Amino acid sequence: MISVDYLAVIEQGTRDFAELLERSDQEALVPSCPGWTLRNLAEHLGEVHQWAAHAIVAGNLDASPTVAPEGAVCGWYRDSARLLVETLRATPVDAPAWHFGAKPQVAGWWRRRQAHEVTIHLHDAQSAVGKVLAIDAALAADGVAEVRSVFFPRQVRLGRIPALEHAMALVVGETGERFVFAGDGLSPDAEVEATVAGPAEALYLLIWGRLSVEDPRLQVSGDGAAARAVLAAGLVP
């Protein structure tokens, strides 16, 4: 897999998000986040940035994010993003830090998580204003890998979803990488009932619920109903 400069993704993504927020109607609805406006999305993303920075510095999840002042969400978001970037830059990647993934518990883990957090929500914001830009293929493929290795098994482990009854593979068109979603996510790869292949960006948006399996960029082979069942199971929070 091609390496991704997560910190560069965070810096560019937070800057793009802030600029979009400043020039757009903050009450615009976000189609991929039902019930949310752009302002709600910014409040969520800014609080997540603060939470991650706290986890790195304090070593626990007990953050108390500041609330965006009425009418000043743009500046508040920029401050939240700046706090995250400065914290990540100042902290060695192998420094001890709390996070919700598997060991080792190190600060570098947050670079990947926040890179995908801002990428998905920047796409959400762009969708709200009708100006969606392409997502880098290497970053998108890494995002599929993150869901497979971090979120899916965590959802089962926490009892949020049962182990999957069906098995599905995602195949990245650019690289041939294959990710199997089956059982509890920890067992050896199972025999799959369905395979969904396509560009990394489309698979990334699919696994995060921003795209349907009917999208023309995707090719489904095998049992389409099994693929839909896996995708609807709640692989991500």
The kind and range of the H/E element at 171 are: strand 164-172
pLDDT in tens, 149-191: 999 999 999 999 999 999 999 999 999 999 999 999 998 778 9
| Domain termination residue (choose one: 81, 103, 129) | 129
* Residues 100 and 51 grouped into a single domain: yes
* Residues 20 and 85 grouped into a single domain: yes
* Residues 144 and 117 grouped into a single domain: no
Residue 130 makes CB contacts below 8 A (sequence gap 6+) with none
Average pLDDT per block of 10 residues along the chain, 237 residues long = 88 98 97 96 97 93 88 97 98 96 95 98 97 97 97 96 97 96 87 97 98 97 98 97
Across the chain, what does the average pLDDT equal?
96
CB atoms within 10 A of CB 19: 12
Residue 225 makes CB contacts below 8 A (sequence gap 6+) with none
Q: 82 in a domain, yes or no?
A: yes
Structural domains counted in the chain: 2
* Residues 100 and 173 grouped into a single domain: no
Question: What's the predicted TM-score (pTM) here?
Answer: 0.96
For 93, the domain range is 6-129
Rounded to an integer, what is the distance from CA 28 to the centroid of its chain? Answer: 22
CATH of the domain at 79: 1.20.120.450
Q: 42 in a domain, yes or no?
A: yes
Q: 237 in a domain, yes or no?
A: no
pLDDT in tens, 130-146: 999 999 999 999 999 99
* Residues 50 and 105 grouped into a single domain: yes
The identity of residue 176, as a single letter, is G
* Residues 14 and 69 grouped into a single domain: yes
